[in-house]
């Protein structure tokens, strides 16, 4: 059984971790930039990046000099037959929006300590670890397709607050507009527009839970001019209306 020791959501932390060993650690960055030094490897993590650090590795992290960051960190012990091996690995998950959504739910369960929260938290973490192992073993997409879609993903992550057209992505990658959606869905399992909404809604969930912004302010900040449409999209992705999270604060 996977034993979770802590689930954290760091919001623009001003502290650093010096070189030390610890438990198995899963890091997922939701905003900004942070630097990890693990043994002899250096990683610059930005929005959508995931890093797994096995317990046997020395590690430390420091803030970026110019850009604050937000990140989830899960500290745990793997079971012996875990799907995740003992290797350090870094990747930008194909479904990074879903990872962020599940980690937000995991963090909520862990902090809330509701009945069965430990069992539910373990199941969520196991799901994410299996998805990571699956993605690592399924790199069958051609390098050209993978490069084009990663370029689209990075562009969406950097510009998610404004409306991005399929034509814009086509020009970015040098493919036809009709092929953009086909290509993106082949690699990510969703369309670029679905992915854009997922990034926005995950960001909205974090803002509602961690700031004093009103639901209307969050909707406008994320490019939704129609709040009723934002409410529908939020409930579609999160299962509850945004007001539900605001009430729970």
Backbone φ/ψ region at 151: left (φ over 0), alpha (ψ -120 to 50), beta: alpha
The band of 140, judged by pLDDT with boundaries at 50, 70 and 90, is low
Query: What's the pTM?
Result: 0.66
Averaged pLDDT for residues 17-34: 86
Q: In the predicted model, is pLDDT for residue 126 greater than 80?
A: yes
From CA 242, how far away is CA 100, in angstroms rounded? 16
Condensed to tens digits (0 to 9), the pLDDT of residues 190-223 reads 899 999 998 999 899 889 988 889 999 999 999 9
- Give span(s): CATH 2.60.120.280, the chain: 3-137
What 3-state class would DSSP assign to 6? strand
Closest CA to 34 of 26, 25, 23, 42: 42
Residues 6+ apart with CB under 8 A from 196: 156, 160, 164
From CA 109, how far away is CA 121, in angstroms rounded? 7
Averaged pLDDT for residues 168-181: 90
Which comes out higher in pLDDT, residue 93 or 127? 127
Condensed to tens digits (0 to 9), the pLDDT of residues 176-190 reads 888 898 888 887 778
CATH topology of domain 3-137: Jelly Rolls (2.60.120)
Encoded tokens for 80:
């012996």
Averaged pLDDT for residues 143-162: 88
Q: What pLDDT shows up at residue 139?
A: 58
Q: What pLDDT shows up at residue 141?
A: 58
Q: In the predicted model, is pLDDT for residue 245 greater than 60?
A: yes
Q: In the predicted model, is pLDDT for residue 81 greater than 60?
A: no
Answer for the pair 201, 160: CB distance below 8 angstroms, yes or no: no
DSSP label at 160?
T
From CA 1, how far away is CA 8, in angstroms rounded? 20
Residues 49, 55, 58, 60: what is their CA dihedral angle, to the nearest 10 degrees?
40
Answer for the pair 233, 201: CB distance below 8 angstroms, yes or no: yes
Averaged pLDDT for residues 134-149: 73
Q: What's the Cα-to-Cα distance from 194 to each of 34, 68, 124, 217, rounded to whole Å?
A: 27, 27, 22, 22
Architecture of the domain spanning 143-248? Orthogonal Bundle (1.10)
Q: What pLDDT shows up at residue 171?
A: 93
From CA 204, how far away is CA 7, in angstroms rounded? 20
Averaged pLDDT for residues 113-141: 85
Please provide the average confidence, as pLDDT, over all residues in the chain.
87
Encoded tokens for 197:
């909404």
From CA 179, how far away is CA 23, in angstroms rounded? 44
Q: What pLDDT shows up at residue 90?
A: 84
- Give span(s): CATH 1.10.10.60, the chain: 143-248
């Amino acid at each position: 059984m996977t034993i979770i020791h802590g689930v954290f959501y760091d919001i623009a932390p001003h502290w650093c971790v010096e070189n030390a060993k610890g438990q198995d650690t899963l890091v997922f960055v939701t905003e900004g930039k942070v630097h990890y030094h693990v043994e002899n490897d250096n990683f610059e993590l930005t929005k959508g990046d995931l890093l797994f650090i096995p317990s046997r590795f020395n590690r430390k992290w420091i803030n970026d000099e110019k850009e604050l960051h937000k990140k989830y960190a899960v500290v745990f012990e793997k079971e012996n037959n875990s799907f995740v091996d003992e290797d350090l690995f870094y990747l930008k998950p194909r479904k990074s929006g879903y990872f962020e959504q599940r980690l937000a739910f995991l963090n909520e369960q862990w902090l809330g300590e509701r009945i069965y929260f430990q069992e539910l938290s373990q199941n969520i973490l196991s799901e994410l670890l299996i998805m990571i192992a699956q993605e690592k073993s399924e790199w069958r997409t051609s390098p050209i397709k993978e490069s084009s879609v990663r370029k689209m993903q990075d562009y969406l992550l950097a510009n998610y607050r404004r409306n991005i057209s399929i034509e814009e992505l086509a020009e970015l990658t040098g493919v036809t507009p009709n092929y953009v959606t086909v290509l993106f869905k082949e690699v990510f399992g969703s369309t670029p527009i679905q992915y854009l909404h997922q990034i926005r809604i995950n960001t909205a969930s974090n803002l509602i839970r961690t700031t004093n912004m009103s639901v209307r302010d969050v909707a406008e900040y994320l490019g939704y001019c129609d709040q009723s449409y934002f409410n529908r999209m939020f409930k579609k992705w999160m299962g509850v209306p945004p007001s539900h999270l605001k009430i729970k604060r």
